[in-house]
Amino acid sequence: MLTAKNLNVLIAEDDADLRQSLQRGFERKGIKTLTASNGVEAMNIVDQSNVDAVITDIRMPHGDGMELIGKINRLQSRPALICMSGYSDLNATKAYSMGVDAFFNKPVLSDLLIEASVHFGKRRKKMVYLEQRFAQLMEEDKRKSVVTDSHELKQIIFNILSQLTALWGYSGMLKTYLAEQNESKEVNFEVNFEKINHYSAKIDSLCEDLSAVIIYFEKNWAQL
């Protein structure tokens, strides 16, 4: 069973006190954490370790968060990306355009970072497994020259899988917006919370249902 304790989270933050504080918060929840003080060190850890989620600051020496995000996005199977910044040169709109899964303005509560890391990290772990497994199964069919009436169905399943990440991304944007609204105490927050949380829950429910269908077909691939 996929739980928070199965996740590996990397925290990239040049402020040693904040980095250690976040690490303690994650470890109290039983989440395995790795830490880095700059972007270069963080990328080395990503290359050498099985990281499910990366929390990164933006302004860091020796390779900042922007460079780190760019390098991670070029990976074939990348970890979830949670970004935090205390400067106005990076806002949520720009962060999402760079492909991050969640964005928070500093100061940010550690519980919000933990929630985002678990939410997106578990999803990423599941998606990586499904993508790799389905690619392997499709390749096995190709090598065996398997052409059946179900081939089109298999391709449809594979195409649906490729869309799940995008759908989940929209849900993540809504949830991050909720978190920021909660911190800033915006006017009409209660109304926004109810509406956005409603649609976010619907997206998550749809994605979970599609994921369950895909897992079922993966287990019964040979019978298709």
Structure confidence by residue, pLDDT tens digits, 21-37: 999 999 998 999 999 99
Question: How does pLDDT run across 165-217, given as a tens digit for each residue?
Answer: 666 666 656 656 665 565 555 545 455 556 666 666 776 777 677 777 777 77
Question: How does pLDDT run across 189-198, given as a tens digit for each residue?
Answer: 455 556 666 6
pLDDT of residue 18: 92
What number of residues does the chain have?
A: 224
Chain centroid to CA 130: how far? 15
**Please, which residues have CB within 8 angstroms of residue 128's CB and are 6 or more apart in sequence?**
77
64 contacts 90 by C-beta, under 8 angstroms? no
Element (H, E) at 85: strand 80-85
Q: Indicate the SS3 state at residue 87.
A: coil
Statement: residue 42 has pLDDT above 80: yes
Statement: residue 150 has pLDDT above 70: no
Question: How does pLDDT run across 75-93, given as a tens digit for each residue?
Answer: 877 888 998 887 766 666 6
Question: Highest mean pLDDT: which of 49-53, 58-62, 175-179, 206-210?
Answer: 49-53
- Closest alpha carbon to 9 in 23, 18, 20, 21: 23
In angstroms, the CA 218 to CA 140 distance is 13
Name the band, by pLDDT with cuts 50, 70 and 90, for residue 126.
Answer: confident
In angstroms, the CA 55 to CA 112 distance is 11
11 vs 149, residue with greater confidence:
11
Tell me the one-letter amino acid at 118: V
Tell me the one-letter amino acid at 167: L
Of 4-13, 107-116, 128-137, the range with the lowest mean pLDDT is 128-137
The proportion of the chain whose per-residue pLDDT surpasses 90, expressed as a percent, equals: 18
Query: Omega before 79 cis (within 30°)?
Result: no
**Please, which residues have CB within 8 angstroms of residue 209's CB and are 6 or more apart in sequence?**
none
Cβ density class 61-100: b for 16+ within 10 Å, e for less: eebbbbbbbebbeeeeebbbbbbbbeeeebebeebbeeeb
Tell me the one-letter amino acid at 178: L
